[in-house]
Amino acid sequence: MANPPKIFLLINRAHAAIARAAERKTKALAELSMPQHGVLVLLSKRDGQTVTQLAKALSMRKSSLSGLIDRMVDRGFVRREKDAEDGRVVRIYLELAAENLVQRTVPFVQHVNGLLLAPFDAVEQEVIGRFLTHLAENAESVIDQVDLPEERE
């Protein structure tokens, strides 16, 4: 390839485009933001996670996620409960109203995922998945290896 893709630019543009479009649809479909939807999906797969676990899975700061969960508690989507074995630990649980929302929104997300991957054959889809996983798991360590240029006088 003569000119490799400009990863930072393309990832930023792709993220902004998909986030804008998905946010618009999840708001219309279920009055949910994308981060709220992410919390609900994660809890539907494994209920009773901690804020720390959810924040890590969603690549969010715990402080940002705590406020988001406060709003979700107010809407009756989730509840907080102290851990039975360690009272210092608070777990987040899905409420019935949110389970119904997840059942409505997950098929939409799966359909969109299919549409986005449709132009690519199975081998290309596997490469896309590997690349994005690599990026998510290794970006910090790769970038941390690069020394900043010295300031010029």
Domain residue ranges in the chain: 7-144
Res 31: pLDDT:
84
The fold for domain 7-144 equals Arc Repressor Mutant, subunit A (1.10.10)
- Check: CB of residue 94 under 8 Å from CB of residue 78: yes
Highest mean pLDDT (candidates 4-13, 29-38, 119-128): 119-128
Average pLDDT of the residues of the chain: 91
Cα distances (angstroms) measured from residue 106 to each of 64, 65, 122: 24, 21, 22
What mean pLDDT do residues 86-90 have? 90
Q: How confident is the model at residue 153 (pLDDT cuts 50, 70, 90)?
A: low
Give the per-residue pLDDT at 152.
Answer: 55
Query: Is residue 40's pLDDT more than 60?
Result: yes
Quote the pLDDT of residue 147: 87
In terms of Cα–Cα distance, which of 132, 153, 38, 39 is closest to 93? 39
pLDDT band with cut points at 50, 70 and 90 for residue 105: confident
For residue 97, pLDDT over 90 is answered with no
